[in-house]
Structure 1
Amino acid sequence: PVSLNAELFPAESSKQDETIDVVFPLLHGPNGEDGTVQGLLELVNIPYIGNGVLASSAGMDKVIMKNIFGQAGLLQAKYVSYIRNEWKQNPDEAYAKVEELLGYPCFVKPANLGSSVGISKATNRESLEKAFEEAFMFDRKVIIEEAIIGREIEIGVLGNDNPSCSVVGEIVPKKDFYDYKAKYEDGDTALIIPADITDEQYETVKTEAIKAFKALDCSGLVRADFFLTKEGEVVINEVNTMPGFTPFSMFPLLWQEAGVSYPELIEKLVELAIERHTEKQSIKYTI
């Protein structure tokens, strides 16, 4: 039989006895963190850092993710979703439904993209129509969410079956919302670590983040993003199953403030990957 491992990851002729210990699939977006690469690594039976196929794919699709969060009892913004064909058949009905259920302002997003690509804020029917057209350029499915007024806070989750949480950080965008340009081009955003929140609010964020982690059957790491409203409500926005990982990205900075250095964080993730892979080897698939 042909070895998938040998075909996909050929060793150099002088190093035929080498094997891959752990893969760190530090990839973002479709065909990276959506379960596809994770599925490939499962097929070749190589340990890898981060979430498995199910959590990665569910975490990438904002509609599926929010459906699961709703079943888990997490507080989140109201939302509706459409696939392209539904919208094309009766766009006015789609716009009217958004206006009735969510009102203005609202946000229109591609369901399966990250980094705020294709996201628009709609404040009236005209901008809503443009927002739908923009989002459908990037995906066959879009999600429309009510606007939540609140501070944008994030927390890192680390672990497998018994996850732990970092400190909380806050994003303070100088623009109307945290779009792609603010994230990657302007640098027009402040990160406050740790965020100025109460102990009670921190405990709520931590509890809700772990609840979201377990609801998606996550492993390794996630960054959980929330809104903290003026009334003190903690509203989950989403989780990122492979957050940015430069030394200056939010996730490593949150853990650095919690006392875990960048090298220590990577070492811990490697340990978690091996732990999960070892456990899977004990599972029987036939009688």
Structure 2
Amino acid sequence: EISKKDMETKDLEKILENIKELKKPWIVKPSNQGSTIGLSVANNKDELIKALEYAFKFDQYILIEEFIRGKEITASIYDVENTICLPLIEIIPKTGFYDYQTKYTPGLSEHIIPARLSEETYKKAQELGVLAHQALGCRHLSRVDMIVEEDTQNIYVLEVNTIPGMTETSLYPESAKAFGIEFPDLIDSFIKSALRSI
């Protein structure tokens, strides 16, 4: 993580030294944003500078991560009476990158339910989703975004969305529907669960 203060007090060479173990390309993103707002992919020093400048428009702190090539999946965690993972969704952006526009424009991404994974990897991803949800003390619902690396089939948790989207293109209600929970019933169950926990 890099702060604006770090950028003012450290030169770029020191920042590059700190991330030298990360393979290129790099993902540069604001620490406290969602929906890939402020996110860029940087392949070299010049692109890194531009990516940092862009990301700092949205937050005081920036994350630089290694870009992992693989299958993007998401696990919707339904935590009402018991904590369960709804069917995994595989996300295929038609623009090549799952950015803000692709996420919220109908037809720009394909969602495959269930995600096309081996039985072992599928089960492990569901378990990781539940573990991530519980480790952060989430309640009622969350959505855990992951990448299954192409070469190794290792699963990397990218982030936990504690307030996942509920729009017409959103993943969580789509996963719930595949499980047999219609949208009005889904929202009703969250309200009742929240009221019980007061």
Return the TM-score normalized by structure 1.
Answer: 0.65
Match of 2:88, SS state, is strand
Note closer, same or farther for the CA distance 1:97–1:186 as it changes in structure 2 (3 Å cut).
farther
Residue 189 (str. 1) matches residue 109 (str. 2): yes
Deviations, residues 61-117 of structure 1 (Å, cap 9, x unaligned): xxxxxxxxxxxxxxxxxxxx111001111132113322x121310100000111111
Residue 84 of structure 1: aligned partner: 4
Question: What's the Cα RMSD here?
Answer: 1.6
Q: Among residues 115, 135, 138, which one is paired with 1:218 in the alignment?
A: 138
1:178 alignment partner in structure 2: 98
Please give the alpha-carbon distance, in whole angstroms, between the structure 2 residues aligned to 1:274 and 1:247.
Answer: 26
Kindly indicate whether residue 59 of structure 2 is the aligned counterpart of residue 134 of structure 1: no
> For 2:127, which of 190, 199, 207 is the aligned residue?
207
Contact 2:105 2:169 in 1 (8 A): no
Residue 184 of structure 1, CA deviation: 2.6
Structure 1 residue 187: deviation in Å? 4.1
- Say if 1:132 and 1:248 are closer, same or farther in 2 by CA, change over 3 A: closer
Aligned counterparts of 1:215 and 1:161: Cα–Cα separation in 2: 18
The structural deviation recorded for 1:246 is 2.4
Where 1:167 maps in the other structure, the secondary structure is coil
Contact 2:27–2:42 (CA under 8 A) maintained in structure 1: yes
Per the alignment, residue 44 of structure 1 pairs with none
Aligned length: 196
Task: Give the match for residue 160 of structure 2.
Answer: 239
User: What is the distance in 2 between the residues matched to 1:211 and 1:218?
Assistant: 10
SS of the residue corresponding to residue 126 of structure 1 reads helix
Could you tell me the percent identity over the aligned residues? 34
Residues 95, 128 of structure 1: 8 Å contact kept: no
- Taking a change above 3 Å as real, the CA distance of residues 138 and 105 of structure 1, as seen in their structure-2 partners, is same
Aligned to 1:263: 184
Q: Which protein is richer in helix relative to its size?
A: 1
Question: Do the aligned partners of residues 205 and 276 (structure 1) sit closer, same or farther apart at CA in structure 2, a change above 3 Å counting?
Answer: same
Q: Is the 8 A contact 2:95 2:102 kept in 1?
A: yes
Does 1:150 find its partner at 2:70? yes
**d(CA) in 2 for partners of 1:116, 1:187:** 18
- Separation (CA, whole Å) in 2 of partners of 1:178 and 1:91: 31
* Amino acid paired to 1:252: P
- Note the residue ranges of structure 2 that are not aligned, 5 or more in a row: none
Secondary structure (helix, strand or coil) at the match of 2:54 reads helix
Which position in structure 2 is the counterpart of 1:102? 22
Structure richer in strand, relative to its length = 2
4+ residue runs over 4 A deviation? none
CA distance in 2, matches of 1:186, 1:251: 15
Report the counterpart of residue 115 of structure 1 in structure 2: 35
Of structures 1 and 2, the one with the larger relative CO (CA 8 A, separation 6+) is: 1
Aligned partners of 2:81 and 2:31: how far apart in 1? 28
Cα displacement (A) at 1:161 = 7.7
TM-score by length of 2: 0.93
C-alpha separation in 2, matches of 1:240 and 1:166: 15
SS at match of 1:101: coil
Q: Which has the larger radius of gyration?
A: 1
1:274 aligns with 2:195: yes
Deviations 1:154-192 (A, max 9, x none): 111011584111001011012342111222347421111
